[in-house]
Amino acid sequence: MEAKSGKISVTTENIFPVIRQWLYEDKDIFVRELVSNCADAIAKHRRLVELGKAEKEPDTADYKITVTYDDDNKTISFEDNGIGMTENEVEKYINQIAFSGALDFVTKYQQESTDKTGIIGHFGLGFYSAFMVADEVTIDTKSFMEDSEPVIWKSNDGMDYEILPSEKKSRGTVITLKLSEDAIKIFDSATIRMTIRKYCYFAPADIFFVDTKSDRLHEEAEEKRKKEAEEKGETFTPSPVSYVPVNNKSPLWTKKPSECTDSEYKQFYHSVFNDGRDPLFWIHLNMDYPFTLQGILYFPKTDNIYQSLEGRIKIYNHQIFVADNIEEIIPDFLFLLQGCLDCSDLPLNVSRSALQQDEYVKKLSGHIIKKVSDKLNDLFKKQREDFEKYWSDISVFVKYGMMKEEKFFEKVEKICLFNTVDGKFKTLEELTSEDKKTVRYTTDPKAQAAYVEMSKNDGYEVIVMDQEIDNNFMSYMEMKKPDIKFKRVDSELSGKESDEETKKSLREFFRKAVGDSKLDVEAKAMGKDSMPALIRESEENRRMQEMRKQYEQFARMTAKDGEDPYAKLDEMFPLIQELVINTDSPVISKLTAMKSMGTKEEEADRLAQHIYDQAKLAHGSLDSEGLQRFLQYNSELLGNMLDK
């Protein structure tokens, strides 16, 4: 063939400045793009062999990709033994299509303004990503077709090129990058190896990494050993360099679920996510219609529900890593899981806004949600005991998912569990009936033990709602099911109400004793074994106080000098609590008798204050001053008892 040169037709003057900008954000993206090209070339040749349209030469029986880093010459090469190219194909695929792909990328990039996360995956930048890091790029290629002549394509800037004759003997392609000065500062042998692992660890062909410096050092060591052996008259046995693939070309998700063992699932999880704990259970996705989707989603142990969600759902395309946690594909509530999803039909070189409107993506997202909910339902129905064991780890995921995704809510609402104070797990249907639509709950079973016992005596199974998500979750469930109400155990106190005269007498007595003329006091016959008094706080007021907490930080930040930051909050969210006196209590009977005598009024007042503090303590709302007063008087009472 004759050497030729030319200039690529350019329709935009800023294509390479834009491509080079990616060096500062995605410094290593070219490795993924070029390895992807190698894998694609191998896949095409493998398919031609399967169709009988190409022969697989014995001397190159194993497909492979070789990435070579030459520290002396500051080059990186990517070699495959795939389909290769003829001179005409180089003209077409490099000078026309590859450039068009890069041009298309730039157009989309500019439409997304300065948001470098705007384009999904970036596959399609392809071959021209090499110019992000290279001052010179060379392609040496030979087509699989018989009698085809090998050719070399060379360019310093991607604009001007030369096509030269080559001496390459075997089919395939070698792309060599002469690194720029900026790239030399960033990339070395270790960096390239780590980048291959990051993007290409599951690439569908064996990847071998060669470091020429290491090879040279090995050769020098071998020469030294050989010389020493000759001097001693010993037989020299060379130790050749043994290369092993740096990737796993057959990730577990490529196998059929029936072919995978539990130990393999666990081992794969440990290796990908560096979590020493075993996952709870998993879902293996493997389908070809109506779209291609493979992957494994794991339900991990969640000792810390606030742990980082970064990198939990890894998205792949033909086993090449695309990105972590793409919300347009995976609903964000699924980020509480961990896993790998290979979406071969996923459009990559498109904007995030385009993905949101893409019908394939919508179906894909819906299918993943269905598979997750189906797995949960299957566990609940067939292995409820195991499902209950998992609940403490998966409850946040299920509740959050129900609030975020309507489809998920519809599929799992009947298997959402609630943990009772007795350690049982009940569904909402099991906690309610036609006659009982109220669910009693506690946020602290130990601190609210007196209230819990009263609710149990009233025939309620008290559930524990102590997670941060629970307050919003209960409100959401009430919105979805208007006939169901959640009420904390201190919001309703059972018992026969006293007559107005008794209420009035006790109200005046306790208001005077505690020094609060606005104290709300009620009186009920709540049983001889119940506490002398309890605090009642309505469910509505409790939720208002939760809302107040969300505004407190803002109030502190916006308060002017000398201004009480909580004054306005006190007006917006007043604390409304009610002291309920148990008229059945022997303590109350003796206290009222003492008061009526008139001779021990001061002592009666102190006892009334003590009963009030005790009620606040049981409720969990006693402040530090009240606690100190309660403990001091309690010590006096103990001392008086011992003196007697």
| Greatest extent of the chain over all pairs of C-alpha atoms, in Å | 124
Q: Which CATH number fits domain 253-379: 3.40.50.300, 3.30.110.30, 1.10.275.10, 3.30.230.80?
A: 3.30.230.80
Only one residue has tokens 């050749």, namely: 240
- Residues 312, 332: contact at Cβ < 8 Å? no
* pLDDT at residue 488, as a whole number: 94
* pLDDT score of 7: 67
pLDDT, residue 99, reads 61
What is the pLDDT at residue 108? 56
Q: Are strands 151-155 and 160-165 parallel, antiparallel or unpaired?
A: antiparallel
| Distance set, CA 409 to CA 69, 225, 370, 382, 403 (Å) | 52, 70, 11, 20, 7
Question: Of 212, 200, 73, 87, which Cα lies nearest the Cα of 153?
Answer: 87
Per-10-residue mean pLDDT of the chain, 644 residues long, equals: 66 56 68 91 91 74 91 95 92 71 56 48 66 92 92 85 92 96 93 94 95 81 80 79 88 95 96 91 87 91 61 86 78 87 72 58 85 96 96 93 95 97 96 92 92 92 94 95 94 91 93 92 91 92 80 72 72 84 93 81 90 92 91 86 71
For 606-636, the DSSP string reads HHHHHHHHHHHHHHT---HHHHHHHHHHHHH
Measuring CA to CA, how many Å separate 573 from each of 164, 553, 586?
Answer: 81, 15, 36
Distance of CA 412 to the CA centre of its chain: 20
Domain residue spans in the chain? 4-216, 253-379, 416-492, 496-537+577-643
Query: What are the structure tokens assigned to 402, written together?
Result: 């129900």
Q: How far apart are CA 26 and CA 198, in angstroms?
A: 12
What's residue 637's pLDDT? Answer: 83
H-only helix segments in 317-469:
352-357, 359-382, 384-404, 406-412, 428-431, 449-457
Please spell the DSSP secondary structure of 269-329, one letter per residue.
Answer: HHHHH---SPPSEEEEEEE-SSS-EEEEEEE---S-TTS--TTSEEEEETTEEEEE--TTT
CATH no. of 416-492: 3.40.50.11260
**CATH superfamily, with its number, for domain 4-216:** Histidine kinase-like ATPase, C-terminal domain (3.30.565.10)
**Cα separation of 626 and 208, whole Å?**
72
Q: Smallest Cα–Cα separation from 204: which of 68, 50, 317, 124?
A: 317
pTM: 0.82
Q: Report the amino acid identity of residue 595.
A: K
Strands 520-525 and 496-497: antiparallel
- 532 prior amide bond cis, ω within 30: no
What's the rounded Cα separation, in Å, for the pair 110 and 116?
10
Closest CA to 335 of 389, 387, 299: 299
Report the C-alpha gap between 412 and 416 in whole angstroms. Answer: 6
In the three-class reduction of DSSP (H, G, I as helix; E, B as strand; rest coil), residue 454 is classed as helix
CATH of 496-537+577-643, one of 1.20.120.790, 3.90.420.10, 1.10.10.10, 3.30.530.20: 1.20.120.790
Smallest Cα–Cα separation from 22: which of 111, 137, 138, 105? Answer: 105
